[in-house]
Amino acid sequence: MTRIFNFSAGPAVLPEEVLHQAQDELLDWHSSGMSVMEMSHRGKEFIAIAEKAEADLRALMNIPANYKVLFLQDGASAQFAMVPMNLLRGKKSADYINTGEWSKKAIKEAKKFCGVNVAATAEPTNFTTAPPQKDWKLDPDAAYVHYTPNETIGGVEFSFVPQTGSVPLVADMSSTILSRPVDVTKFALIYAGAQKNIGPAGLTIVIVREDLLGQALPGTPSMFDYKIHADNGSMYNTPPTYAWYIAGLVFEMLLKKGGLKAMGEVNQHKAGKLYAYIDSTGGFYKNPVEKHSRSWMNVPFTLKDAALDEPFLKGTKAAGLVQLKGHRSVGGMRASIYNAMPEAGVDALIAYMRNFMKQQG
């Protein structure tokens, strides 16, 4: 068996030890005689798995007791609608920060439910910066402020948590959750699709402050109402049980490895190495993002001539590197280096890039 270095932006690489454990437990979980996939979500075995996963996530992120943790489906994209449906609470508009493709999608969806005030946009820089808070025009009457701490496609990440006073702060953390410590108390709601930095696709985590629940728009379908999910322990209907289980294995492993502080140090080091190499190539490779807004998780880069893209990609598979082609909207390359990408993968990528550049003379 050969494992390849997979730089996919999502679904993405999972920790090898977690996959091994899942394999060991596949046919018979803890002498239950069943696979987790076959268990009733209301049986005592799965309840134990579910509760441990939540407890471990709470420990990892230091989530206070007055926040609910929901294990939902439908991806982060459903949250683009669920956030306004649940958090408008009689208000007419919400503030959004536009830093790229995912922000734009969140804004487009919110406009179906409320007025959207784009309080800051990185569009004038072609989405290569996270706008500093001094440039934001927040509305004190906004229902909430929504931003995307890490833009997965553009590779733009906020190096600060915005201050929004008494206006609830909402974050789409899909591609940065668990990458470093975060002060949950600064947020009213955090959501993340699991397939970037948590586990398999099909699971979406929502962490929401309790006092915001119970005020969904009239007519909100039950499946889109946080309160209904919260009151039912995310088991109003059948949850994505297997993805929940794998996420739990990931949480357990991260705790064993020293938690998010340790992860943050590793991630900063891995990303720092790759950016330092890119910057050292005199423009042969280029990352367009302003230094203080560079993502630790997604590193887009272009080659000095787009005609080199194809030959560059051609050799990657043989070097044991896959999924480096950039997003269709930006071109070039993108290396996603989530928690589960070992440093050896970053080293192998840099070695390949160095070799390729040498071949070009």
Ligand X SMILES: *Cc1c(COP(=O)(O)O)cnc(C)c1O
Touching ligand X, residues 2-61 (CB under 6 A): 10
C-beta nearest to ligand X: residue: 75
Q: How far is the CB of 278 from ligand X (least distance, A)?
A: 21
Pairing of strands 321-322, 333-336: unpaired
**Catalytic residue (one of 29, 102, 136, 244):** 102
Q: How far is the CB of 65 from ligand X (least distance, A)?
A: 27
Q: How far is the CB of 156 from ligand X (least distance, A)?
A: 11
Q: Which is nearer to ligand X, 102 or 275 (CB)?
A: 102
Q: Which is nearer to ligand X, 193 or 300 (CB)?
A: 193
Q: Which is nearer to ligand X, 22 or 205 (CB)?
A: 205
Judged by CB under 6 A, the stretch of 41-49, 51-59, 69-77, 246-254 that binds ligand X is 69-77
Q: Which is nearer to ligand X, 72 or 114 (CB)?
A: 72
125 binds ligand X (CB under 6 A): no
Distances in Å between the Cα of 220 and the Cα atoms of 106, 113, 115 are 18, 11, 18
Residue that is written with structure tokens 């046919």 in the block: 27
**24 catalytic per annotation:** no
Beta-carbon neighbour count of residue 141 at 10 Å? 11
**Four-residue CA torsion sign, 318, 17, 238, 52:** negative
- Give one DSSP letter per residue of 172-193, joined into a string: E-TTTTTSS---GGG-SEEEEE
Distances in Å between the Cα of 221 and the Cα atoms of 95, 227, 232, 236 are 24, 11, 15, 12
Judged by CB under 6 A, the stretch of 38-46, 71-79, 270-278, 324-332 that binds ligand X is 71-79
**DSSP classification of residue 325:** B
- Give one DSSP letter per residue of 150-175, joined into a string: EETTTTEE-SSPPP-TTSPEEEE-TT
> Any idea what the Cα angle at residue 231 is, between residues 230 and 237, rounded to 5°?
80
Q: Which is nearer to ligand X, 168 or 193 (CB)?
A: 193
Size of the site for ligand X (CB under 6 A): 12
Q: How many helices (H) and strands (E) does the chain have?
A: 9, 14
Q: How far is the CB of 297 from ligand X (least distance, A)?
A: 9
Q: How far is the CB of 168 from ligand X (least distance, A)?
A: 19
User: Taking a C-beta distance cutoff of 8 angstroms, is the pair 71, 126 a contact?
Assistant: no
Touching ligand X, residues 150-209 (CB under 6 A): 152, 172, 174-175, 193, 196
Among 21, 73, 77, 281, interactor with ligand X by CB under 6 A: 77
Q: How far is the CB of 252 from ligand X (least distance, A)?
A: 23
Strand order of the sheet with strand 285-286? 285-286, 298-303, 333-336
**Catalytic residue (one of 68, 104, 136, 196):** 196
**Catalytic residue (one of 172, 225, 227, 244):** 172
User: Taking a C-beta distance cutoff of 8 angstroms, is the pair 155, 299 a contact?
Assistant: yes
Query: What is the x/- site pattern for ligand X, positions 282-321, by CB under 6 A?
Result: ----------------------------------------
Q: Which is nearer to ligand X, 39 or 188 (CB)?
A: 188
**135 catalytic per annotation:** no
User: Taking a C-beta distance cutoff of 8 angstroms, is the pair 345, 337 a contact?
Assistant: yes
- φ/ψ of residue 13, rounded to 5: -55, 140
Within a 13 Å sphere around the CA of 354, how many CA atoms are in the beta-carbon half?
Answer: 10
Among 18, 22, 49, 76, interactor with ligand X by CB under 6 A: 76
Touching ligand X, residues 101-120 (CB under 6 A): 102
Touching ligand X, residues 213-272 (CB under 6 A): none
Judged by CB under 6 A, the stretch of 53-61, 74-82, 135-143, 272-280 that binds ligand X is 74-82
What CA–CA distance (Å, rounded) separates 279 from 287? Answer: 8
Q: Which stretches of the chain bind ligand X, using CB under 6 A? A: 10, 75-77, 102, 148, 152, 172, 174-175, 193, 196
Q: Which residues are catalytic?
A: 102, 172, 196
